[in-house]
């Protein structure tokens, strides 16, 4: 959270997109000492799109009259995100690379390097707000609820938030586009990028196949043990996803279970009780305040980015910082390895990994 001192140096992470461009422009317009930084995190054959983005970031910084550093974090991204992601998929889990990236790279390695280079803050184009209540910092939801990214940021702690700035938290996306036009930024009309964090728009199954071996196995229909097809390898399937493959009927089938010991996949229809859940365990809960709340905690629970806010209750944590979540209504199953994130009154409290 930025302190009232215009002389403090701010490093803005420039992706070459409109959000980070406007973030930099707003800070420059407010009179802060701003430097841009383009981070190279992944550059294998299918991830060369960063070169065009770097050129866009250069053009934006030239327009704003600020310098642009190019920093290389490929080693850190490989070791802290990709290796962990592939290992978790191999175990049958479904990790979230964007959450890993924010925790270990953007507000880990990037922030460490920013401080090392003499910058007081790291600013990004995330849609979120940081508010101070007493001695504690809160991660508040963005004004634009359709763009809110607190789900991806819920693993941050107080020390990280103290050095972070999110200039777009008070704006709606159309307003950001208008600001880009107002500042005459070269990226004003640039489309949003989608895909795996820093890797690009490549199907996850195709990306996983670059490092994980395909080991085919049987697909069974839930409740009947009927063999209805063959899968390509358990890591390539996510619990809850619609199953595209064996044609069994006109009704859609969904992945309900992975049986690692038998290398088997179990699928079922949307009226199968196994397709829904109300109670589940979470582990390694991160409380952004640094303090555990009073239990049982009544809050809203989000299981996916932009997913519905579900009323729920969290019981008292045990010594392993895990707990039990009880939802007021059933919802479709979420895969182990993904995250449940907790909210109260528009503030992200933190979250934990679905066990």
Q: Assess contact for 256 and 267: CB atoms under 8 A.
A: yes
Q: Is 101 part of the annotated catalytic residue set?
A: yes
18 has binding-site annotation: yes
14 has binding-site annotation: yes
- Spatial CA neighbour of 99 closest among 172, 18, 24, 156: 156
Q: Is 197 part of the annotated catalytic residue set?
A: yes
Alpha carbon distance 196, 63 (integer Å): 29
351: Cβ contacts below 8 Å, ≥ 6 apart: 151, 154, 155, 282, 285, 286, 339, 340, 341, 342
232 has binding-site annotation: no
20 has binding-site annotation: yes
Q: How many beta carbons lie within 10 A of that of residue 146, not counting itself?
A: 9
Q: Which of 101, 141, 299, 348 is catalytic?
A: 101
Q: Assess contact for 336 and 93: CB atoms under 8 A.
A: yes
Per-residue burial over 240-277, b = 16 or more CB atoms within 10 Å of its CB, e = otherwise: beebebeeeeeeebbbbebeeeeebbbbbbeebebbeb
What is the torsion angle, in degrees rounded to the nearest 10, for the CA atoms of residue 5, residue 56, residue 17 and residue 203? -140
Which H or E run includes 312? strand 310-314
Alpha carbon distance 203, 183 (integer Å): 35
17 has binding-site annotation: yes
19 has binding-site annotation: yes
> Dihedral sign, CA of 316, 322, 323, 327?
positive
16 has binding-site annotation: yes
Q: Which of 61, 141, 197, 348 is catalytic?
A: 197
134 has binding-site annotation: no
Positions annotated as catalytic residues are 101, 197
Residues marked as binding for ATP?
A: 13-20, 39, 125
């Amino acid at each position: 959270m930025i302190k009232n001192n215009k002389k403090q140096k701010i490093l803005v992470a420039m992706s070459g997109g409109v959000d980070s461009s406007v973030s930099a422009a707003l800070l420059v317009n407010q009179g802060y000492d701003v430097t841009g930084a383009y981070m190279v995190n992944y550059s294998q054959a299918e991830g060369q799109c960063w070169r065009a983005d770097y050129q866009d970031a250069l053009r934006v910084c030239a327009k704003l009259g600020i310098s642009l550093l190019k920093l290389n974090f490929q080693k850190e991204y490989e070791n802290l995100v990709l290796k962990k992601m592939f290992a978790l998929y191999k175990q049958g889990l479904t990790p979230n690379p964007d959450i890993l990236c924010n925790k270990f790279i953007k507000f880990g390695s990037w922030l460490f390097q920013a401080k090392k280079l003499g910058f007081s803050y790291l600013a990004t184009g995330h849609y979120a707000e940081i508010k101070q209540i007493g001695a504690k910092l809160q991660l508040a939801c963005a004004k634009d609820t359709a763009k809110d990214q607190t789900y991806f940021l819920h693993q941050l702690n107080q020390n990280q938030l103290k050095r972070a700035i999110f200039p777009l938290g008070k704006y709606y996306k159309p307003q950001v586009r208008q600001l880009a036009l107002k500042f005459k930024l070269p990226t004003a009309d640039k489309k949003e990028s989608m895909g795996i964090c820093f890797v690009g728009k490549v199907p996850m199954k195709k990306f996983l196949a670059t490092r994980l071996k395909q080991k085919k196995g049987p697909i069974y229909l839930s409740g009947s043990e009927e063999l209805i097809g063959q899968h390509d390898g358990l890591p390539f399937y996510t619990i809850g996803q619609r199953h595209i493959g064996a044609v069994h009927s006109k009704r859609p089938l969904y992945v309900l279970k992975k049986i690692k010991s038998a290398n088997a996949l179990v699928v079922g229809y949307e009226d199968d009780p196994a397709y829904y859940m109300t109670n589940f365990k979470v582990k390694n809960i991160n409380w952004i305040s640094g303090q555990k709340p009073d239990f049982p905690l009544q809050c809203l629970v989000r299981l996916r980015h932009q997913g519905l806010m579900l009323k729920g209750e969290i019981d008292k944590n045990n010594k392993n910082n895990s707990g039990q979540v009880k939802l007021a209504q059933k919802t479709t199953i979420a895969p182990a390895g993904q995250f449940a994130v907790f909210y109260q009154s528009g503030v992200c409290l933190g979250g934990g990994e679905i066990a």
